[in-house]
Amino acid sequence: MNSEDELLKAIGKRLKEIRIQKGYSSYEAFALDHDLGRMQYWRLERGVNMTMKSLIRVLEIHQMTLQEFFSEGF
């Protein structure tokens, strides 16, 4: 696995941690509650097929900036 793949996996892991902290044990429930595609969100948490636009949208849902997201745990 190259460093880009590892970074995407770390971003996905962080998204999952934040979702769980917000009280969502299921990625599906989170996606449905926030009008996100289930498979799209699943891919984000897996660090697969991630775009900045998708990441920014999820961070807006969490009311979190890119700076806040990357300052914790990176």
What pLDDT digit, counting tens, does each position of 9-52 carry?
Answer: 999 999 999 999 999 999 999 999 999 999 999 999 999 988 99
Distance CA 69, CA 74 (A): 9
Total tally of structural domains belonging to the chain: 1
pTM of the model: 0.90
Task: Tell how far CA 1 is from the center of its chain.
Answer: 20
Q: Is residue 19 part of a domain?
A: yes
Q: Is residue 74 part of a domain?
A: no
Q: Are 38 and 32 in contact (CB under 8 A)?
A: yes
Distance CA 38, CA 16 (A): 13
Distance between the two ends of the chain, CA-based, in angstroms? 18
Quickly count: other Cβ atoms within 10 Å of residue 22's Cβ: 10
Domain of 13 in residue numbering reads as 3-68
Q: Is residue 55 part of a domain?
A: yes
CATH of the domain at 30: 1.10.260.40
What integer pLDDT is reported at residue 1 of this predicted model?
62
Q: Is residue 73 part of a domain?
A: no
